[in-house]
Chains A and B, each alone.
Chain A
Amino acid sequence: MKRFGIGGAALLLALALGYAMLELGPARLDLRPAVAAHLADSGVRHPVTAVLLNYRGYDTLLEVAVLLLALFAILAVTPPGPARRPAPADPLLQMLARLAVPLMLVASFYLLWAGAFRPGGAFQAGAVLAAALVLLHLTGQLPGWPTPGALLRGGLAAGLLVFLGVAAALLIEGSLLQYPPAWAGRLILLIEFCLTGSLGLILAGLFLFLCQAEGERR
């Protein structure tokens, strides 16, 4: 009975949403001209990157803080254990991983650099970096991370700290995260560079800290 009730309600919601979207008129508030008008002052040439790191830098700053917070919570709920290394994979797979990782590093840097003028940026680059670390772990060449040491902690927090530092330094200009147009490009690149490293470590940490807990049961 409950199944049918919830299923029916979900179907009704889907139909209502679909109908609303088909009947939707053009957007009352168009932000595209505003984004395009200030693109020259934003320091980058791609509108999405400009929105992420300049117009709505707040969002990105808090997003990195949320990521770091999730990682802290994961560290808090997984009891520390000895560093676990999965059984070494097939030598062929290990070789392939070793070949792929340098290419992934190059791809990550390219994505970071490309973010200024085409789709790309710190988050995509960080995701590729994290994938490289996870790949090394899965082929048995990188042990899972136990409780992070000082170096790893520094790396995890560097992105957020640099971002906060830039935001605080810009307070003398008057308002938080309002880059002077002449410096915007360089500041955004600095922030994105540090964010890429930290995001790679954080996203990889979500996996590598979590897989530590496996050994704890029996």
Chain B
Amino acid sequence: MSTGLLFALVGAALFPLGAAGLLLQRHLLRRILAFNLMGSGAFLVLVGLAQRQDVPDPVPQAMVLTGIVVAVAATALALALTRRLHALTGRLELPEAAHD
């Protein structure tokens, strides 16, 4: 098994882990972390599958680089919104849906 394939397999394990965390956790910080875990899984799959052969493919690498920066921006925005929610309501959870 090549290193690239190992990366991709770890990514394939991280993505569902993050997805389950996103659905199961109520605390917003944990949700943001779970969301980032999903993103990291996707990046690992892209980078890992791109270097299965001897020479890595630069196109997915450049895309992952773009993706990481966008993920950082999205995380910062999510944290800002979480913080505002905390300042306004004193809670770090979203209100429950009525039918839940």
Chain A residues packing against B (C-beta within 8 Å) = 2-3, 6-7, 9-11, 13-14, 17-18, 21-22, 24, 26-27, 30-32, 35, 47-48, 50-52, 55-56, 59-60, 63, 66-67, 69-71, 73-74, 77-78, 123, 203, 206-207, 210, 213, 216-217
- In the complex, given contacts A18-B12, A70-B74, what are 17 additional A-B residue pairs having Cβ atoms less than 8 angstroms apart? A7-B24, A10-B19, A13-B19, A30-B57, A31-B59, A35-B59, A51-B59, A52-B65, A56-B62, A59-B62, A59-B66, A70-B77, A71-B73, A74-B76, A77-B81, A203-B72, A210-B80
Chain B, interface residues (CB within 8 Å), range: 35 or more
Pick the 6 closest A-B CB pairs, nearest first: A47-B58, A17-B12, A70-B73, A10-B20, A10-B16, A51-B62
Q: Complex Cα distance A14/B12, Å?
A: 6
- Specify which of B5, B53, B57 is in contact with A31 (CB 8 Å cutoff): B57
Residues of A within 8 A of B13 (CB): 14, 18
Contacts of B56-99 to chain A: CB distance below 8 A: 57-59, 61-63, 65-66, 69-70, 72-74, 76-77, 79-81, 83-84, 86-87
Say what secondary structure dominates the interface of chain A.
helix
Residues of B within 8 A of A67 (CB): 69-70, 73
Chain B residues packing against A (C-beta within 8 Å) = 5, 8-9, 12-13, 15-17, 19-20, 23-24, 45, 49, 52-53, 55, 57-59, 61-63, 65-66, 69-70, 72-74, 76-77, 79-81, 83-84, 86-87
